[in-house]
Amino acid sequence: MAVEYRCCEASFFIHIGIIVLLVLFAGLMSGLTLGLMSLSLVDLEVLAKSGTPQDRKHAAKILPVVKKQHLLLCTLLICNAASMEALPIFLDSLVTAWGAILISVTLILLFGEIIPQSVCSRYGLAIGAAVAPVVRVLVWICFPVAYPISKLLDLLLGDGHEALFRRAELKTLVTLHGNEAGKGGELTHDETTIIAGALELSEKKVRDAMTPLSKTFAIDINAKLDRKLMQEILDKGHSRVPVYYEEKTNIIGLILVKNLLSIHPDDEIPVKNVTIRKIPRVPGDMPLYDILNEFQKGHSHMAVVIKQSNLIQQTSNNVDGDLRLDIDSQKTNEGSMKTTNPIRRWKSYPDSQNTYRSSSRGKKWSRDAEASVLQIHDAPLPKLNEDEEAIGIITMEDVIEELLQEEIYDETDVQEDQ
């Protein structure tokens, strides 16, 4: 009798131990299902590269495990289902059938679902990194069953789960991380504004940032730099002034105001006798990012915006697919450059990168000082047709204002009271 009693007692404690292990195992699988599957590959890559030192270690351990998400999901669910199905079998030998159902449901609900998922949802990264070796072993054990199911899921649902944000979503995400949102974010108002401006800049065109020609100060190339005109230039406070021929829509170049410092107003020197620099001409639908890249090359911080897109012409002899800037010119008998058409014209060629380049050698806006000066001489200046009329001026400052989403005021600007 004593031996039989001891055997029953040993069997009872063995069953209790197995039940406890099954509940804990089911809880671990349930918690990992929520904890690991809620971590996208993008989140883990961000943590692995720019997280805290502890998060980097955890993310590096978890990344190889979650790369095949459907295989991991099938493994965790198979193990969870197996443990929950085995639990009533061991409970049935200890209590009645209805008691086994009641106890198993209570244990699974409380210790196998609620508590594990609550803990793993908060500490999923640390727990997932700690049990990553165990999960790898389980993947290999369940591989014969989990792999076919996971491949079927890949076929039906696709295997790409990289949750990359669109521009609008990134903008909203940045806004939520601002300290003004009241959610504990660290980004200041200026930081969120600049980031949002950078995200929106790719969607804006030159016409969105340009200054209309009606609001632009420009001078006639045949005008004289007398005291009145010099004073007007001084009052405007611009560092560069566009120069036009006959009509304001025919912008042919620009002068740097600093070059006028040595000119005496009483001499009344004609504008065409001073150094006039060539001014790039760009279509209104040119992306702001492209013109920003060109401005930073240093050739010019001002460009003329052209009205008509017919200025952009398709040519069949293009070899490299770049957008080039051509200048029609020819040599005079004296060896100097005579400009038959001093206006730069954009020609369009298909290009996947939408880059804007100049010269036949494919360099962006030549930085040669002599090449950037407009050679007038005594040649008659051309009258542009309607397709080449200027509609506005865009400067580096205009693009920066779009990036900052705020007006930039210098010493000569007059701010209106709000």
> 317-367: per-residue pLDDT in tens?
333 333 333 333 333 333 333 333 333 333 332 333 333 333 333 344 444
> 385-418: per-residue pLDDT in tens?
666 778 899 998 899 888 888 887 766 665 554 4
- pLDDT(66) > 50: yes
User: Which residues, other chains included, contact 29 with Cβ-Cβ below 8 Å and sequence gap of 6+?
Assistant: 76, 77, 79, 80, 83
CA distances from 318 to 51, 291, 348, 391, 410 (A): 48, 22, 10, 29, 44
Distance, C-alpha 260 to centroid of its chain: 42
| Best mean pLDDT range from 175-179, 228-232, 307-311 | 228-232
> 182-209: per-residue pLDDT in tens?
777 778 888 888 888 888 888 888 888 8
- pLDDT(383) > 60: yes
CA distances from 337 to 157, 322, 345, 362 (A): 66, 26, 18, 21
Mean pLDDT along residues 260-277:
87
Q: Pick from 239, 207, 252: which is nearest to 391 by CA?
A: 207
Lowest mean pLDDT among 48-62, 94-108, 292-306: 94-108
Q: Say what the pLDDT of residue 293 is.
A: 86
- pLDDT(382) > 80: no
Q: Does the model's pTM come out above 0.85?
A: no
- pLDDT(123) > 80: yes
- pLDDT(139) > 90: yes
* Topology, domain 204-404: CBS-domain (3.10.580)
Mean pLDDT along residues 148-152:
92
Per the prediction, the chain carries an average pLDDT of: 76
Q: Say what the pLDDT of residue 344 is.
A: 37
Q: Say what the pLDDT of residue 140 is.
A: 94
- pLDDT(24) > 80: yes
Q: Say what the pLDDT of residue 185 is.
A: 77
Give the domain ranges of the chain. 2-157, 167-199, 204-404
CA distance 174 to 184: 12
Mean pLDDT along residues 235-255:
87
pLDDT band for position 135 (cuts 50, 70, 90): very high
Question: Is residue 282 a contact partner of residue 306, using CB atoms and an 8 Å limit?
Answer: yes
Lowest mean pLDDT among 156-170, 201-215, 229-243, 288-302: 156-170
At 165, phi and psi to the nearest 5?
Answer: -90, 145
> 165-169 long-range contacts, Cβ below 8 Å, gap at least 24?
167/199, 167/200, 167/202, 167/203
Name residue, tokens 């560069």. Answer: 240
